């Protein structure tokens, strides 16, 4: 069996008396789309935050390409090639689209202007931003220098998705990336997710949208009460079976092999 790109074992995170994740495991294999589904509060966001350095788990281990990693900040995970779209999007509303795409990894002008005066290479970043946004099919955005707060919810989501797709080099994690999107835009993001996978990057997709999940996922990780209940595939189970496991109405099948 191939080795997982990203693996978590026994992750636990408590917030006071609330146990957000309770000894959760996760495996992500090369070139797959792994959907993570679960009720509200099942610990999906907390789980992926542990994988992306946004929170430090109380217990448990994370392995990237078989080597154990300890992410202290989101920057650490990014440096390791893990890009994340958070449920809250994590954009700076007052900055423009290009600034947001390059937030935390700005490019400086070549030569003295960049090295001594630390001047940003705005024209280059804008051109790149435009390219990434049009790859996403949101070229209808009038102006790349537009503040993100002046965008619609779906357009903001597109900015966050474009950022992760553009910079992910190992793993792309998307926490409900289609929640605010219209049908057409949602389908575009699904296509983008497939494109990212076809580029060879595995994707973790958290979604409440069962048709989306069953359309793109290779495997489906069902999170329940802070831990993994089971992993199924769109072929092995129907949507209603998945929902029954998710809500606890049905017994999860014994953990299927990958």
Partner 1 sequence: MATASATDFDVRRNDSLGLRLQHALHANPVLGPLAVLIVAIIAFSIVNGRFLTATNLSLVLQQVTVIAVLALGQTLIILTAGIDLSAGAIAVFSSILMATFCTKAGMPGIIALVLGLACGTAMGAINGFLVTRIKLPPFIVTLGTLTIFFSLNSVVSNSETVRGTDMPGLMTWTGNSIPIGNFRLTYGSIIMLLLFAYFFYALGRTAWGKHVYATGDDAESARLAGIQTSRVLFSVYTVAGLLYAVGGWILIGRLASASPNVGVEYNLDSITAVVLGGTSLFGGRGSVIGTLIGALIVGVFRNGLQLGGVEVVWQGFAIGLLVLVAVSLDQWIRKVKT
x/- map, 207-226, ligand ATP, by CB under 6 A: --------------------
129: nearest Cα among 113, 153, 105: 105
Residue 45 touches Mg ion, criterion: CB under 5 A: yes
Indicate the residue among 61 and 149 with the shorter CB distance to partner 1: 149
Residue 146 touches Mg ion, criterion: CB under 5 A: no
For residues 69 and 202, give the distance between their C-alpha atoms in angstroms, rounded to a whole number.
18
For residues 94 and 148, give the distance between their C-alpha atoms in angstroms, rounded to a whole number.
6
x/- map, 82-121, ligand ATP, by CB under 6 A: -----x----------------------------------
Residue 42 touches ligand ATP, criterion: CB under 6 A: yes
106: Cβ contacts below 8 Å, ≥ 6 apart? 120, 125
Indicate the residue among 2 and 142 with the shorter CB distance to partner 1: 142
Least distance to Mg ion from the beta carbon of 202, Å? 20
Number of residues that bind ligand ATP (CB under 6 A): 12
Least distance to partner 1 from the beta carbon of 234, Å? 29
For residues 207 and 239, give the distance between their C-alpha atoms in angstroms, rounded to a whole number.
13
Region from 7-15, 44-52, 105-113, 138-146 binding Mg ion, contact rule CB under 5 A: 44-52
Q: Can you say whether the dihedral through the CA atoms of 151, 153, 84, 28 is positive or negative? A: negative
Q: What Cα–Cα distance (Å) separates residue 185 from each residue in 7, 10, 56, 140? A: 31, 36, 33, 12
From first CA to last CA, the distance across the chain in angstroms is: 8
Six token digits for residue 182: 């219209």
Residue 87 touches Mg ion, criterion: CB under 5 A: yes
- Vertex 90, ends 16 and 4: CA angle to 5°? 75
The partner in contact with residue 20, picked from ligand ATP, partner 1, Mg ion, none with C-beta cut-offs of 5 to 8 angstroms by kind, is ligand ATP
Pick the binder of ligand ATP from 43, 53, 57, 168 (CB under 6 A).
43
Half-sphere exposure of 242 (CA within 13 A, CB side): 27
Pick the binder of ligand ATP from 6, 26, 27, 38 (CB under 6 A).
38
Region from 38-46, 74-82, 89-97, 187-195 binding ligand ATP, contact rule CB under 6 A: 38-46
Residue 46 touches ligand ATP, criterion: CB under 6 A: yes
Q: What is the DSSP pairing of strand 219-224 with strand 33-37?
A: parallel
Q: Where do contacts with ligand ATP occur on this chain (CB under 6 A)?
A: 15, 18, 20, 38, 40-46, 87
Q: Where do contacts with Mg ion occur on this chain (CB under 5 A)?
A: 45, 87
């Amino acid at each position: 069996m191939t080795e997982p790109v990203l693996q978590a074992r026994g992750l636990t995170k408590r917030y006071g008396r609330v146990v957000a994740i309770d000894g959760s495991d996760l495996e992500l294999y090369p070139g797959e789309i792994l959907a993570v589904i679960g009720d509200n509060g099942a610990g999906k966001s907390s789980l992926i935050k542990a994988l992306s350095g946004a929170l430090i788990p109380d217990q448990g281990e994370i392995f990237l390409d078989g080597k154990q990693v300890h992410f202290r900040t989101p920057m650490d995970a990014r440096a390791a090639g893990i890009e994340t779209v958070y449920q809250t999007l994590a954009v700076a509303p007052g900055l423009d689209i290009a600034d947001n795409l390059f937030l935390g990894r700005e490019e400086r002008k070549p030569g003295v202007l960049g090295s001594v005066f630390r001047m940003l290479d705005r024209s280059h970043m804008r051109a790149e931003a435009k390219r990434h946004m049009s790859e996403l099919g949101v070229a209808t955005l009038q102006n790349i220098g537009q503040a993100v707060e002046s965008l619609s919810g779906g357009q903001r989501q597109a900015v966050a998705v474009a950022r992760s797709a553009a910079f992910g080099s190992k793993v792309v994690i998307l926490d409900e990336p289609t929640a605010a999107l219209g049908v057409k835009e949602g389908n575009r993001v699904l296509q983008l997710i497939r494109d990212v996978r076809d580029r060879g990057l595995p994707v973790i997709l958290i979604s409440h949208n069962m048709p989306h999940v069953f359309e793109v996922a290779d495997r489906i990780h069902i999170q329940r009460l802070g831990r993994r209940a089971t992993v199924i595939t769109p072929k092995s189970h129907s949507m209603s079976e998945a929902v029954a496991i998710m809500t606890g109405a049905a017994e999860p099948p014994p953990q299927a092999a990958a």
